[in-house]
Amino acid sequence: MITIDSTAVIGVIGAGTMGAGIAQVAAKAGHPVILFDAMEGAAQRGLEGIEKGLAKLVTRGRMTQEEVDTLLSRITLANSLQDFAPSRVVIEVIVERLDIKQQVFAELEEICAADTILATNTSSISVTAIGSQLTRSQNLVGMHFFNPAPIMKLVEVISGLDTDPAVADAIYSLSEAWGKKPVRAKSTPGFIVNRVARPFYAEGLRVLQEGGSNEATIDAILRDAGQFRMGPFELMDLIGHDVNFAVTSSVFAAYFNDQRFLPSLIQQELVNAGHLGRKSGRGFYDYSETAEKPSPATAAPQKAPAHVTIEGDLGVAEPLVQLMIDAGLKVTRVDEGEGSITVGNATLRLTNGQMTTQRAAQQRNSNLIHFDLALDYNAAKRIALAPADQADEAALQAAAGLFQAIGKGVSVIDDVPGMVVMRTVAMLANEGFDAVNQQVCSEADVDIAMKGGVNYPFGPIEWAYAVGLGTIQAVLDNLANTYGEDRYRTSPLIRRKVAGGL
């Protein structure tokens, strides 16, 4: 067992936003911290950035000036790597280049004690590859923070092929002592977060590419029904398309062109045009001073229905029934049926991953309308509807009137398989289960990572259990059948759990 107490010296190489943030976290926990950056003046600027951020906390009453002064007194600026000799742990936060990281860690092996733990904050490079040129590769571990490091709780603790389990345990415990929520993962492309998050962007881009709806509407559906803090297009604009496209391309290449991680031609075009998002003033949205963000497509008000019939169990959408009753609608319940809502001449069913048009033809019900998944139908502000091509206008108006009567905004989208929230959640869960199936991490760590690292409202695996793994499997299988693409193959672990009654 390796212990790292609060008196242990922590070295941080790289004084940019992330490195300075990590130095602040370590100093706040009581550690003496050595901060270094090879670029002249960068370490001083990093320290000034820490001071500026802490001054805001004093203004807000979250820290006293005395506490700030004590924290800052623990940080020492280094002149060279030689100053890292007393470090118990050294965290590297430098450029994402394998050769440079290998060179820095090789120098540290010559400078630091034989038992010094070397940690890399890499988000995309194999920890095993970094350690391959080291004499003591067992001392190297991934310690991947998320920006901004003082605020974001997640730390991915990544074990390379040679990493000593005791070293990984020590960094896990250290992260906890720093008030973080660590998760464990093997050194595989994207680790947990950057791997599991790919479908959030990819499925939104696919719906856009197929004309399912526009960016503003897709974003609104995922915010208002899925309760994600941001939709995929506004989030990609915030991250920067050069960065987001590069990560997707890197993961795609690292997994030997697995179609599940296929980059988007739409995003490539944005990068080619220099439309990188907020930082360039234009991405999916226009960020110039005079520009107005477009509003999502919202259906015009329709009459509330006189009568609603519920056939069978609506599953995860069952809360809709009570909302109808609470809204004063006349509701008749029939036990038989596969789970549908009849209002006027319309039949409404939760999307199952098929095109509504396809399902309508199979069931010989021309006025079939799919509605999308919501994280919480009680709290959802918006519901998406996708009518079959055969459906008449009266059916769509009746469906819209029903959801408006229970207080929901309605966005009508074109008939794309799985709609927006359902296909996104199904693919996020699929990737999470596949990571577990491939022994990268645990189910619990997938959910902790996605909630703590990218602020998902619900872990994708726990969300899949709430929806029902049988439903998730059916959605994925229907997507695969419709598209004929390996991209939508269902994780063997989902199939195993469904077959086992889970």
Q: How confident is the model at residue 502 (pLDDT cuts 50, 70, 90)?
A: confident
Examine residue 265 and state whether it is found in any structural domain, yes or no: no
- CATH number, residue 155: 3.40.50.720
| 494 burial via Cβ count (<10 Å: 0-12, 13-18, 19+) | buried
Residues with catalytic roles: 123, 144, 156, 194
Q: How confident is the model at residue 243 (pLDDT cuts 50, 70, 90)?
A: very high
Examine residue 494 and state whether it is found in any structural domain, yes or no: no
What mean pLDDT comes out for the span 467-490? Answer: 97
DSSP category for residue 154: E
Phi/psi for 380 (5° steps) reads -60, 135
d(CA 415, CA 357): 7
Regarding whether 318 and 176 lie in a shared domain, the answer is no
Tell me which residue of 200, 201, 270 sits closest to 242, measured CA to CA.
Answer: 270
Domain stop point among 187, 214, 239: 187
Examine residue 251 and state whether it is found in any structural domain, yes or no: no
Interval 180-210: pLDDT, tens: 999 999 999 999 999 999 999 999 999 999 9
Domain stop point among 412, 433, 468: 412
Note down the domain range covering 371.
Answer: 308-412
Regarding whether 23 and 165 lie in a shared domain, the answer is yes
d(CA 241, CA 256): 22
Examine residue 420 and state whether it is found in any structural domain, yes or no: no
Percent of the chain with pLDDT over 90: 98
Interval 130-186: pLDDT, tens: 999 999 999 999 999 999 999 999 999 999 999 999 999 999 999 999 999 999 999
Domain stop point among 187, 212, 232: 187
What mean pLDDT comes out for the span 32-43? Answer: 96
Structural domains in the chain (count) = 2
Regarding whether 167 and 19 lie in a shared domain, the answer is yes
Percent of the chain with pLDDT over 70: 100
Interval 362-399: pLDDT, tens: 999 999 999 999 999 999 999 999 999 999 999 999 99
Name the region of 361 (left: φ>0; alpha: ψ -120 to 50; beta: rest): alpha
Q: How confident is the model at residue 23 (pLDDT cuts 50, 70, 90)?
A: very high
Examine residue 145 and state whether it is found in any structural domain, yes or no: yes
Q: How confident is the model at residue 293 (pLDDT cuts 50, 70, 90)?
A: confident
- CATH number, residue 357: 3.30.750.190
DSSP string, 271-316: HHHT--BGGGTBSSSB-STT--PPPPP-PPP-PPPS-EEEES--GG
Examine residue 104 and state whether it is found in any structural domain, yes or no: yes
- How high does pLDDT run on average in the chain? 97
Examine residue 30 and state whether it is found in any structural domain, yes or no: yes
Report pLDDT for 128: 97
Report pLDDT for 244: 95
Interval 393-447: pLDDT, tens: 999 999 999 999 999 999 999 999 999 999 999 999 999 999 999 999 999 999 9
Examine residue 286 and state whether it is found in any structural domain, yes or no: no
Under a CB-based contact definition with an 8 Å cutoff, are residues 190 and 251 in contact?
Answer: yes
Three-state DSSP at 343 gives strand
pLDDT at 83 over 90: yes
Under a CB-based contact definition with an 8 Å cutoff, are residues 473 and 425 in contact?
Answer: no
DSSP category for residue 96: S
| 132 burial via Cβ count (<10 Å: 0-12, 13-18, 19+) | middle
Q: How confident is the model at residue 1 (pLDDT cuts 50, 70, 90)?
A: confident
